[in-house]
Homo-oligomer: A and B are copies of this chain.
Amino acid sequence: MNISDASRDSGLPAKTIRYYEDIGLVKPGRLGNGYRDYNDDDLHKLRFLQRSRGLGFSVEDCRGLLSLYEDRNRASADVKEIAKSHLAEIERKISELQSLQKTLSHLVDACHGDHRPHCPIINDLAR
């Protein structure tokens, strides 16, 4: 299976798939003409990557998850640890953004948004 079929199958752009090969995540075989040739195992990994990246795991986390995925003797605790710390990071980001949202929405509400220069938003930024 060539790269455009692998792309369709996995939902990942061909460029991304080549990039993942560059950084050592999925290494397909090669045909006589130099074209990449993806087997079932490669396709499983690509789908795994698109799903885990979609859940916001970093590429390095994905590398770890992928090797656990392939390790028949893994401890589920190791997987859970990665997921828990990612979850904590997400929750940290959410509260950071919520705090920004609160501040900004107050400022936006306070601003008349007309042709005059007076502006509570600017005043706050300049304080």
> This chain: how many copies in the complex?
2
A111 adjacent to chain B (CB < 8 Å): yes
A54 to chain B, nearest CB (A): 9
**A23 cross-chain contacts in B, Cβ below 8 A:** none
A2 to chain B, nearest CB (A): 23
A75 to chain B, nearest CB (A): 5
Q: What are 21 inter-chain pairs, A to B, with CB distance below 8 A?
A: A44-B126, A48-B126, A51-B124, A55-B125, A56-B97, A65-B122, A68-B122, A69-B125, A69-B126, A71-B117, A72-B117, A74-B117, A76-B115, A76-B119, A79-B119, A79-B121, A80-B112, A81-B113, A86-B104, A90-B97, A91-B101
- Whether the Cβ atoms of A84 and B65 lie closer than 8 Å is no
- Majority DSSP secondary structure for residues of A touching B: helix
A103 adjacent to chain B (CB < 8 Å): yes
- Whether the Cβ atoms of B112 and A76 lie closer than 8 Å is yes
